[in-house]
Each structure stands twice: as structure tokens, then as C-alpha cells.
């Protein structure tokens, strides 16, 4: 007893839709987690006094410039 090509196609389509729904759910979850992390970082920076905040931002910027230069070589 073999399945018709239509049934096989429908099953494959349903499986693909389920996989896509799962991937979208995972993406949404990771995106939410990243947004919360960014907000946490902003809140922590906002809690610093202006001089310390400027020093932290300067340090982070400097570190990123060094990484960019290192990767460019």
C-alpha cells in the first residue's frame, strides 16, 4: 500500500511548515533575549556618573577599533 504523490507532497509541506514555525519561534526568542541584554547594558550605563560613563564608552570603543584593525590585517 503506497501513498499517492499528493499525500507525500502534503506531508512534506506540513513538515516544512512545522520546521519553519519552530525556527521562527527560536529566532523570536533569541531576538527578545538580545533586546533585554541591550536594555540591561543601557540601564547600567545610565546608572553611572557622567565621567565614569564616558570612560567606559571610550574603553569599549577603543577595544572595538582594535578588533576591527586586527581583523582587517
pLDDT digits (tens, 9 = 90+) for 22-45: 999 999 999 999 999 999 999 999
Residues in contact with 24: Cβ distance below 8 Å, sequence separation at least 6, in sequence order: none
Phi then psi for residue 27, to 5 deg, are: -60, -45
How far apart, in whole angstroms, are the C-alpha atoms of residue 8 and residue 19?
A: 16
Q: What residues make up the domain containing 42?
A: 5-72
Based on the structure, what is the number of domains in the chain? 1
For 7-21, the pLDDT digits (tens) are 999 999 999 999 999
pTM of the shown model: 0.61
What does the angle CA 37 – CA 54 – CA 59 come to, to the nearest 5 degrees?
Answer: 70
Amino acid at each position: 500500500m503506497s501513498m499517492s504523490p499528493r499525500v507525500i507532497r502534503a506531508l512534506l509541506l506540513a513538515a516544512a511548515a512545522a520546521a519553519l514555525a519552530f525556527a521562527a519561534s527560536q529566532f523570536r526568542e533569541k531576538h527578545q533575549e538580545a533586546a533585554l541584554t541591550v536594555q540591561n547594558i543601557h540601564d547600567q550605563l545610565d546608572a553611572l556618573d557622567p565621567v565614569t560613563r564616558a570612560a567606559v564608552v571610550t574603553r569599549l570603543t577603543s577595544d572595538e577599533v582594535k578588533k576591527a584593525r586586527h581583523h582587517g590585517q
